[in-house]
A and B are shown apart, each in its own frame.
Chain A
């Protein structure tokens, strides 16, 4: 008994060390932002006082505008997806006609088809629609990308709602749209929560889409802004770049720590479909 206890403690210590190793880059990133320039290129030195100039520099750039843009496309993309996919997922679960089956499989195929090659024709399509360099386009693209997973999620959740509720609604003679938003949608909130907590990271952390479809600094989201900030000069001044990275990462790290359990459940659900 005693031997196994000791073994368990040893294992725990080994795991804590491994965990610290995983945390190290994040801790290093944060610590470095408080180191004054003379210490910055001595990676092992600790900061000897709180040096905040990097943050002043970072905030002096277009940081807040980029943050706002990121927030806008993240909230917009998630909201539009929830709006259209909840309605679609609901009817896909309820109707058995050919048309709905066809769309169910069409959406599901979107989970397998990669969009790598589609980016180029999309660029042309966006030009035709005068959507290049608009945040609206980003919202539409994120929505199109999430529709397969989100409608699948909503249709799976719909099956757990008793049909009697809808019939009760239709007898009262309220329109089907109102019935959906007043009666059904609140019951689908767990699916909405799962969807948001799983996919908020994907949009916030996305680098490729804004890189391709946005070109003016006032529309740019956080991730490409950080990279431009880094590539700006011949030799990168890492201090401010680290500071802006910490600021960009902070909201999501907080969200993750607070909603870890739910997000992990969602991740597993999301990964099952591939």
Chain B
């Protein structure tokens, strides 16, 4: 096994593809982390405002800041990160990107940046304080929607680059399974493409309406199409994080893969069951019968199943590694884990936070529980621990080996220590902020609302102490943010030269062969489309046929 590894790493060094690929992905990562810094600082302004500690100027108010924060972090940072990571994966596991794919990577980046500049300029100019959900009939400047369309076009180019890479590689390696991490990449690129089809249809209806060429818009249809994308994107970050848990974390702690087949099944399940999951954002909407809502509660709940498979797999790997190192008892492995190694610590904390995060998700998915917390700060707390810790802390953890691997540098013990500090500050910040949001949300505090006393209401005043936690968390997170950006750029340009490994766990020696059916992506895509049709055809047809008169545009900011 070692001989093979040595040989393949020699090939990738000799092929010369890596240097050009690294330049591409490092550019992506640089822009991603600058975006994270700007978006995060905007988040701090909101936390301070919501706690009543800071008044924002009228020409850059809370809602503008919130719109920019949402778009920069939810859309721009995460998409750039996911594409950069999976392009690095494809380059590493397939001995370099094909030149055409690398070119598509660059074209995608430029396209997305053009779109983002158009979008953000409109937000800053005050022409688009519509949040990243941009629900009509609130009307932003048409150029805001054109910008969004260009961003999506950029995402598609990257996705098709991924498909091209995998297809070309398979042609040259007939009969072989695509490497496990590339298998995750395939799943993610499929979701990036199919998951954004609905929102693209929506944006293409909004553009002529915003220009004034059409008079009215179907509000319910737009909202439903938006959410067919909204939640799929959540699961794209999650699937990206999961790929690191299954394949990278076991290697970092000196273990083996849980099971190649099972991992691939988890990917397939997450891909096929994903898109209808977005419906649970509409549980308290009018215009949809309770029967449809229950069907969709079931369809979203299915996503929980592969997550629970992952939970088992991860603890099994930890226990097995612990046992090998002499751990005794059910929880003996905890002592044997390399807690001081940030490459383990960060993703491990991320996984631990997925326990309350996932449980909160299942709760919100139920008809009645959703009603308690819908549109309250609870929801914001939920996605700050799932995205902000489960996904993003896993991403941070990857930076400590991926950036040095790409920049041909090494992680020093000092930088590792700073990474541990960063991880802890980030975690504590999120505990304060997301904890405060969950609690005050249960008490009824609404989301997306700037500082208010609701006419000196006693009920609203009782929320104040919890809202202060948002500000405290925000300050800690900002410190964590500055640290991670420093660490990423240090590892990119200043860390000592050397070689760093791309950690990929191998299967057990006695592992059974992965069956060929896992590779039949055409079948999985057809099943996915069938499930999407099952979830969406009936409600969408109903929304189009039984639509109320459409809505004219409104600018309410």
A binds B: no
Q: Which residues of B contact A (CB under 8 A)?
A: none
Q: Which residues of A contact B (CB under 8 A)?
A: none
